[in-house]
Chains A and B, each alone.
Chain A
Amino acid sequence: MTESRRPDPEPPSPPGDEYEQVFDRLEGSLGEQLPRVLREVDEAAALLAEILGKPEPERRALLESGVRFHSLQLCQLFEERSREAWFSDPAQAVELAELAVAVAERLDEEHYGLLLVEDASASAWAHLGNALRIAANLRQAEEALQTAEEHQRRSGEDAYTEALILSLKASLRSTQGRYDEAAHLLDGAIVIYRQARDRHEEGRALIKKGTALGLAGRHKEAVRLIRRGLSRIDLFQEPRLLVAARHNLIVFMTEGGRLQEAAEGLAETRRLYLGLGERMNLVRLRWLEGKIARELGRLDEAEAALNEARDTFLADGIAIDAALVSLDLAILYMQRGEISALKELAAEMGPIFASGDVHPEALAAVLLFQQTAEAEQVTRALLDQVAARLQRTSTP
C-alpha cells in the first residue's frame, strides 16, 4: 500500500500584507535605480566605441581611470565583440575578453548587488577562457575557466551563465581530445536550457555535443544528436548556425560511410550555403563536395574541388583548414597511388605554418605527416589521426 503524500505544511508566514510591503518597497527602490540602469544600457555602445577608438595599449588605462566605464552593459558588449572575433582574430578576442574581465572586476557592488557582480565576473572569465583556448593557450584557458567557475559558485543565480561555462569548458575538453568529458559537460548545459525552455540554445548544445562525438569518431551518435539539435534551433534567428550544423552533419555522414545520405544532404543544403552567401562557407562547400566526390570514386572532380578550397584557404591565411584540405588531397593521392604527389603536398605544408601563430598541437601533427610522407609510410589511419589532431585545434 502506498502512502499518500501530504503537502508540506505551510511555514509560519508573515501576514500577507508584509509581502505586499515588499513589492511596495521594490517599486520604490526600482523607481530610483531603473532609470539609471536603462540609461546605462543605452550609453554602453558609445562607451565601447570610445574605448575601441583608442590605440590598444591605451584602452586598459582609459577603462580603469573612468568610473563611467565600469558598466555591466559595457562588460557584456566586450564579451559580444570577443565572441565575434573568436573566428577571425583570436588575439583580438583575448584582448576584448580581458577588457570584459577588467570591467567586471570594477563593477560597483552597491549599485548592482554582489551576486550580479559575481555573475558578471563568471561570464567575463569564461569568455576569456575560451578566447585563450582558441589562441592556443590551453593552460591559461583552464585557469580562466576555473576562475569563472569560482565566481559562478559564489553567485549561482544565473542558469545561463552556468550553461555558458559548461559549454565553453566542453570546448576546451574537445580541444584536448577529451571528447567524453566534453559530451558530459554539454549534457549539463542541455538540461539547463531545457529547464529554461530555451529550445534554440538547447539545440545549439545538442549540435555541439554531436560535433564532439563526431570528432571522436562516433559518427552515428553525432548524426543523431546534430539532427535532434537542428530540430530545435530557430532557423531564422541564426542561419549561420543552421549552415554550420548541416555542414557538420554531412561531414560526419561522409566519414561514417553514409555517402548517399551525405550527397542528398549536400544537395538540400547547397541553397543554404548560397543563400548565406559568406565566402568562407562557400569554400567549405567546395571542400565538402570534394570529400564526397572522392569517397564516391570521382577522383578528378574531387581533386579540382579540393585544390580550389585549399588555394582559397591559403590565400586567406587560414592555415588549419588549408592543412586539413591538404590531408584530404593526400588521401586522394594515396587512392591513386601517386606517392610523389603526396610527398610534394607534404613538403608544401611547412610554409603554410611558417608565417602564423600556430597551435603547437597542429604543428606537431603536420610534422608527423611530413616525416611519414618523406619515409613513404603514410597510411589512411595516420592521415585520419593527423586530421583529428588538427581538427581539435580549430574547434570554435
Chain B
Amino acid sequence: MTAQPSERPTQQDLDRILAKLRPRIEGLLRRHGCAPETAAALLREAVVALTHRWSHVRDRERWLLDRIEKAVRRTVNPSSKEPRDD
C-alpha cells in the first residue's frame, strides 16, 4: 500500500451532492422533527466529515445520508444510544 496524494472533493463536488440530496435531507429533517437551528450545524459537520472521508467512501451520497440520519436521530433522541443510569 503506498501513500496516495490526498484525494479531496472540490466545492462543486460537494455542492452537486447537496443539491441532489436536498429533497431527501429535507424530508429526513421533517420526518424527525429536527429543529431548523440545529439542523444546519449537523449538516455542516456531516459535509466536513465527508470531505475528509472522500477517498475512503464508495457510495458518498448514501454515506452522507446515513450520517445525517444518525446525527438527527441522536439529536432528537439523545439517550437512544447511551446507557441510562437511572
Contact = CB atoms under 8 A, between A and B. Distances in A.
A115 B71 contact: yes
A284 interface: no
A158 B30 contact: no
B43 A22 contact: yes
A84 B52 CA distance: 19
B62 interface: yes
A261 to B, nearest CB: 30
Given A13-B33, A44-B6, A156 B81 contact: yes
B30 A11 contact: yes
Most buried by A among B40, B63, B82: B40
Q: Size class of A's contact patch?
A: 35 or more
Contacts of B74: 156-157
Contacts of B45: 112-113, 115-116
A34 B58 contact: no
Nearest to B67: A157
Interface of B: 1-3, 5-6, 8-11, 14, 18, 22, 26, 29-33, 36, 39-41, 43-49, 51-53, 56-59, 62-63, 66-67, 70-71, 74, 81-82
A198 B58 contact: yes
B70 A30 contact: no
Interface stretch (A72-80, A300-308, A316-324, A372-380): A72-80
B48 A112 contact: yes
Interface stretch (A35-43, A246-254, A343-351, A361-369): A35-43
B82 to A, nearest CB: 7
A206 to B, nearest CB: 16
A178 interface: no
Interface of A: 10-14, 16, 18-19, 21-23, 25-26, 29-30, 33-35, 37-38, 41-42, 44-45, 72-73, 76-77, 80-81, 83-84, 112-113, 115-116, 119, 153, 156-160, 195-201, 240
B44 A33 contact: yes
Contacts of A83: 1
Nearest to A120: B52
A10 B30 CA distance: 8
Contacts of A240: 1
B3 A81 contact: yes
Given A10-B31, A11-B33, A73-B6, 17 more contacts: A11-B31, A14-B30, A16-B26, A18-B36, A29-B40, A30-B47, A37-B48, A38-B51, A44-B6, A81-B3, A84-B2, A113-B45, A116-B45, A116-B49, A119-B49, A157-B46, A200-B58
B49 to A, nearest CB: 5
B58 A196 contact: yes
Contacts of A34: 11, 14, 47-48, 51
A160 B63 contact: yes
Nearest to B66: A159
A254 B9 CA distance: 46
Given A23-B22, A112-B48, A153 B82 contact: yes
Contacts of A112: 45, 48
Given A73-B52, A158-B67, A21 B58 contact: no
Given A37-B51, A42-B6, A73-B52, A26 B57 contact: no
Nearest to A75: B52
Contacts of A30: 14, 44, 47
